[in-house]
Amino acid sequence: MQIAPSVLAADFTRLGEEIRRVSAADYLHLDIMDGHFVPNISYGPGVVAALRPLTDLPFDVHLMLEHPLQYIPDFIKAGADLITFHVECSDPIAETIEAIHQGGAKAGLVVKPGTPAEALWPWLEQLDMVLVMTVEPGFGGQSFMEPMLQKVQQIKEKAPNLPVEVDGGVNRSTIEACAQAGVDICVAGTGVFRAEDAEKALRELQSF
């Protein structure tokens, strides 16, 4: 299993040190929230750019934005390697995917718990990854919604080689179900950054 620790769960008073604690990860997951698409605000491209020199990990940037398209160049310039945005957003999907690819990054689409997997079908061939939310987006520390794994199986049946990521409530007690469903990448926040030994927690999750 590939693991992408979510910076949202890190200690923001010592972000540099926190990033170094998770150097054994596969990605670094960065949640960008605008206070409109989700009822929370996190940080912008300035913070992403500040973190970029601190690690060689690929930046997995999750845009929880009503209008992601206008921010694509900013996040690519800040160092995003992979940008995911929501199929439920208000911007044209194909145009946003194209903007990400033209900027040199990989593109992924995200589905909220209430959105069926079928909403992704028109764009599967254009995507580098799909992210299935296993909690309602906006806040960390929520409980894992196991029924969402049915979407993972549906996506894998439709596009077997497309990497699928899940985000929300992933820890040692929920990751086995993710692995069995065919998940390729798990976002883990509190399960890694709040662990006493972050590297040990990472290795345990990666072993599934």
Catalytic residue numbers?
Answer: 31, 167
User: Residue 30 is inside which H or E element, if any?
Assistant: strand 28-33
- The CA distance from 142 to 161, in Å, is 29
Reduce the DSSP state of residue 132 to 3 states and report it: strand
Partners of 27 in the β-ladder: none
Tokens encoding 184: 């390729």
Reduce the DSSP state of residue 149 to 3 states and report it: helix
Burial of 56 (0-12, 13-18, 19+ CB in 10 A): exposed
What phi, psi does 62 have (nearest 5°)?
-105, 110
